[in-house]
Amino acid sequence: MSDIRCFIAVEIDDTTVIRQIQKIQRDLSSSGARLKLVKPENLHFTLHFLGNTHEQRIPELANILNDIEGKSFDVELVGVGCFRPQRPRVIWIGCTTGTDQLINHQKFLGKQLRAHGFPSEKRKYTPHLTIVRVRSGENRVQLMKLVDEHANHNFGTFKAHAIKLKKSTLTPKGPIYDDLAVQRLNDDDD
């Protein structure tokens, strides 16, 4: 038995929203900064990063996901930002509509995970969608100028239909994510 690197997330699967994100990624790339763009199939809001988890505990995590209740919800993506602008490592998109639901699901999962002996998140949860990882400080001023220009950009709205336990396999070309468990949220018309 071995460890599996995993996390719990809400994925983005709306092609219109993804195209908007890709346009901004291309724009940020024009800064000349050394960037690693998050692939469209990997775009997600992390609710809990679990890290290396013994594979025997995956069914336990799937059961925790099964306890999630609620309806599918809209998430409106608005604004580009970064943590620590003087040394940006991650560029993200924020959200307006859907923030409360993401936070509530994250809190519920945190309580359930702690009750089962999984480690807690150390930082206060702030819903954000990572779109770019910054590889160096090269052309930081140009990059931050573009981030500021898109600080209020609206990317559209997607429907969060599920919360997923994801496996993350790190490769030289970037991570590959696979579903380990999926908890569907009730659609509004059910």
Q: Which residues are catalytic?
A: 44, 128
What is the signed CA dihedral for 12, 14, 19, 23, rounded to 10 degrees? -40
Euclidean distance between CA atoms 94 and 81, whole angstroms: 7
Query: DSSP class of residue 18?
Result: H
Residue type, 91: I
Closest CA to 132 of 166, 88, 79: 88
Euclidean distance between CA atoms 185 and 9, whole angstroms: 13
Using DSSP's 3-state secondary structure scheme, residue 122 falls into coil
